[in-house]
Amino acid sequence: MIDGQPPSRRRTLRGARRFARYLLGRRPRRTGALEPGEDAFLRRAGELALEAERAGNVPIGAVIVLDGRVVAEGRNSVYRPLRHPGKHAETEALRAVPDDLWSRARDMTCYSTLEPCIMCLASLYFHGVQRIVFGASAPAGGAGPLIPDLPWYMRGIQWIGPLGDDTSRELRGRVRQSLQRNA
């Protein structure tokens, strides 16, 4: 309400339709192609996800790659050792990047087992990582539906996925179970 006047019906319906499309996940996703050998990085992220699960956390893993080699790894540690909602796999991987490599952040790629959430997308973007590859979609919390609505200065992101391999789909099911168990 502005100055005691309700919003116009047209504006209200437009917002409701946009929100409905977001909830239904019908927004287009930015995609790209994997280069030969990149599936090894997703496999490593899957191994990190299993390590996170063994430690009692949500099974999500991420690796950051520069020039064809892994420079940082991270696994979800939201629940253990201490409950911290910001310790997602992608943010943990960002913390592990050596300081001398940040000047080349635009050349880095983040590989994650699950579609990054909006917090992780923003962290990756503002750290300079422009290419994000993920194995499985996250309909309830993934940032993919928001990509078309990002501000103009964030439009350079390469959003590649879901790649739909069996391991990622299996891990997505385990993520759901883990979240229900720890809720």
Any bridge partners for residue 72, and if so which?
Answer: 64
Angle at 131 (CA atoms; ends 38, 160), nearest 5 degrees: 65
Q: Of 73, 90, 92, 115, which residue is the catalytic one?
A: 90
Active site residue 90: yes
Q: If DSSP states are collapsed to H, E and C, what string results for 76-129?
A: CCCCCCCCCCCCCHHHHHHHHCCHHHHHHHHHCEEEEEECCCHHHHHHHHHHCC
Cα 19 to the chain's mean position, in Å? 20
Q: Are 109 and 65 in contact (CB under 8 A)?
A: yes
Beta-carbon neighbour count of residue 23 at 10 Å?
A: 11
Catalytic sites, residue numbers:
90
